[in-house]
Structure formats: C-alpha cells, structure tokens
C-alpha cells in the first residue's frame, strides 16, 4: 500500500517540507531555503506548479513514471496523484513550488480560464521547459508574491493581488506551452503517421474483437501521450479531433468491408461494434448516408438482409 500525502490545502505540502505557512489558501515555497527535503507521493486537492532546476528521478504521474527535464515546470491539478514516495533520501532541490486552493479563485475570471491551461494534465514529456529569461521572470514574480504574503494580513484586497500574480505566472506557463506545441509542428506529421499506423495495426491484429472500436485514451496510452496532448497534435495536423480521425478511419474500414460483400451486421461485428445500429449511426454521422445507402444497387441486390 503506497504512502500518499493528501494535499487537501496548500499548507499540508508546506508543512511536509518544513516551509512557513503564509496564507490559508496559497503557499509559495523556496526549495533553496528548506532543502534538504524528502519526497512525497501526493494526492492533490489543490493546483500546484513545481518550478525547479532539478527534480527527483522517477516521479509518478497518475499511472505513469517519468523523469522531468532540468529547468522546467511540472503542473498538477485537483484530483491528480503525482510525486515520489519517500525513499528515505534527503534531496537538495533548487527552485520553487506554488500551490493554491480552488477556493482562492472561486467566482473569479481565473476560475473560468483554468480550463484553457491544458498543461495541468500533461505527462513528463510535456513538462514546460523554461528559457533562462523565463526562469528569471517567474522567479521574480514568486519572490514578489511571497513578499506580499509575508507583509500583509489576509483580506479581499490581498486575495485580489494574489490572484493577479498567479494569473500572470499561469500566462507565462501558457506561453511556454504554446511555444513547445509550435516547435513540435515538425514532429506532428510523425505522430499522425504513428497514430494512423496504430489504428491500422489495431484492426489487422483483430484487437477490436476483444476491446471494440479503439478509443482516444487507448491510442494515447500506446503512443505514450496524454489524450489531451494527442488531441492537440491531431488538431494542429488535421484541423479535426482525435476521435474524429478514429471515426473516419473506422468508417473507411467499414466501406471496404461493405464493398467486399459483408452486410451491415457482419461489418459492424468485424469493426468491433456491439450492435449494428451503432455502426450505422457512426457511418451516417461521418458520411451523411447510411451503410445501405452507400452500397451500389448491384451489390446490394446480392447481399443477405441485415438487421
């Protein structure tokens, strides 16, 4: 049974690394001042940004393990599990951690904006890699935010200032994320090719007979990406969605089966659908016509009647 630290509020984590508690809803931790620290596997009830020169090796994120790049930012959101279970080793970490409660931003425009910061759910290969200038600017913002927390009593005015700092830091993170996504345009075609080949192999191997029509999550796991990240790459490459690409691929496979003499029921079964009408619904959604309407009349006349 893993030993998990339940970070129900920002100061749970602050106490675990020996950092001062500055505010009930936000914690700014300078690792350089509290190191050495021990690692912990955390279940987050808060948002967290870990902005570090060096990360512990073999961190966990959900069901996966990763090594974070030096000089990067790792983001976590409520409901996630991440970190590394305490192995008894003291670590000297350089950098910062910013944790804040969802309660802090409730009712603000930032609460609405959070859904746009998609880097909160990305895996290790998508940690945000900072340029030296970005490290300096984000460090300066965190230093100023900590001064505000140290020098002022909690009040609505202070909370407004805190949210302003957090919003600016998140926007810097967003800029880094968008830059990385842009840099990966060259790799997008390769990912799209791998995605297509994965779907092709899925049906060649008969995997659909056991698991049904492939899902975005299945494909993302096989390609070692998060579903959201795969979706972003497919969107940049094709202008559509990952699930839309899967549906189009499955429909093309269906056309081939229909043209080769299979009726609608047989085609649905061979594609991994539990019921023929599910295939019919998808086919019409993609093509605008039903499978029966797709078939030329001379082929349709020799096919057995389907359900």
Q: pLDDT tens, 48-76? A: 999 998 888 878 775 566 777 789 999 98
Structure tokens at 163: 């949210």
Query: How far apart (Å, rounded) are the C-alpha atoms in residues 146 and 289?
Result: 61
> According to CATH, what is the number of the domain 186-300?
1.10.10.60
Query: How far apart (Å, rounded) are the C-alpha atoms in residues 290 and 100?
Result: 51
Give the pLDDT confidence of 249-270 residue by residue, as tens digits: 999 889 878 877 889 999 999 9
What is the residue extent of each domain of the chain? 4-183, 186-300
Peptide bond into 193 cis (omega under 30): no
Mean pLDDT along residues 283-291: 92
- Topology of domain 4-183, per CATH? Jelly Rolls (2.60.120)
Residue whose structure tokens are 């057995």: 304
**pLDDT exceeds cutoff 50 at 303:** no
Structure tokens at 246: 């899967």
> DSSP readout, 119-164?
GGG--GGG-EEPPHHHHHHHHHHHHHHHHHHHHS---HHHHHHHHH
Query: How far apart (Å, rounded) are the C-alpha atoms in residues 127 and 259?
Result: 46
Give the pLDDT confidence of 124-161 residue by residue, as tens digits: 346 789 999 999 999 999 999 999 999 999 999 999 99
From residue 60, give the alpha-carbon distance in Å to each of 2, 56, 65, 67, 143.
12, 10, 4, 9, 28
**pLDDT exceeds cutoff 60 at 235:** yes
From residue 175, give the alpha-carbon distance in Å to each of 27, 88, 103, 181, 276.
23, 37, 25, 10, 46
Give the pLDDT confidence of 22-51 residue by residue, as tens digits: 999 999 999 999 999 999 989 899 999 999
Q: What is the pLDDT of residue 157?
A: 97
**pLDDT exceeds cutoff 90 at 102:** yes
Q: Are 160 and 202 in contact (CB under 8 A)?
A: no
Q: Are 25 and 104 in contact (CB under 8 A)?
A: yes
Q: What is the pLDDT of residue 193?
A: 82
pLDDT above 70 covers a percentage of the chain that reads: 90
CA torsion sign, 48 to 49 to 55 to 58?
Answer: positive
Q: Indicate the helix (H) or strand (E) that contains 92.
A: none
Query: Could you report how far apart the first and last alpha carbons of the chain are, in Å?
Result: 50
Structure tokens at 264: 């609608």
pTM over 0.85? The answer is no
pLDDT band, very low/low/confident/very high, at 286 (cuts 50, 70, 90): very high
């Amino acid at each position: 049974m893993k030993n998990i630290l339940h970070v129900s509020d920002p100061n749970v984590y602050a106490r675990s690394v020996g950092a001062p508690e500055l505010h009930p809803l936000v914690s700014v931790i300078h690792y350089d001042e509290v190191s050495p620290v021990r690692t912990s596997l955390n279940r987050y009830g808060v948002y967290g940004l870990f902005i570090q020169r060096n990360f512990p090796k073999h961190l966990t994120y959900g069901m996966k393990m990763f090594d974070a790049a030096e000089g990067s930012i790792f983001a976590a959101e409520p409901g996630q599990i991440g970190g590394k279970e305490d192995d008894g080793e003291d670590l000297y970490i350089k950098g910062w951690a910013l944790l804040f409660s969802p309660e802090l931003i409730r009712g603000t425009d930032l609460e609405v904006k959070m859904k746009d910061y998609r880097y909160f759910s990305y895996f290790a290969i998508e940690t945000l890699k900072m340029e030296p200038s970005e490290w300096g600017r984000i460090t300066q913002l965190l230093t100023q935010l900590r001064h505000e927390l140290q020098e002022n009593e909690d009040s609505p005015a202070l909370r407004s200032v805190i949210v302003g700092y957090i919003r600016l830091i998140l926007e810097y993170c967003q800029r880094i994320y968008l830059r990385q996504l842009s840099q990966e345009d060259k790799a997008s075609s390769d990912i799209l090719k791998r995605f297509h080949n994965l779907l092709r192999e899925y049906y060649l191997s008969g995997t659909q007979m056991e698991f049904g029509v492939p899902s975005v999550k299945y494909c993302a796991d096989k390609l070692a990406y998060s579903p959201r990240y795969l979706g972003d790459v497919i969107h940049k490459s094709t202008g559509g969605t990952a699930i839309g690409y899967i549906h189009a691929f499955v429909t093309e496979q269906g056309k081939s089966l229909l043209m080769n003499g299979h009726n609608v029921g047989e085609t649905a079964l061979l594609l991994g659908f539990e019921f023929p009408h599910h295939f019919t619904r998808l086919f019409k959604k993609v093509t605008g016509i039903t499978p029966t309407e797709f078939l030329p009349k001379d082929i349709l006349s020799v096919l057995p009647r389907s359900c």
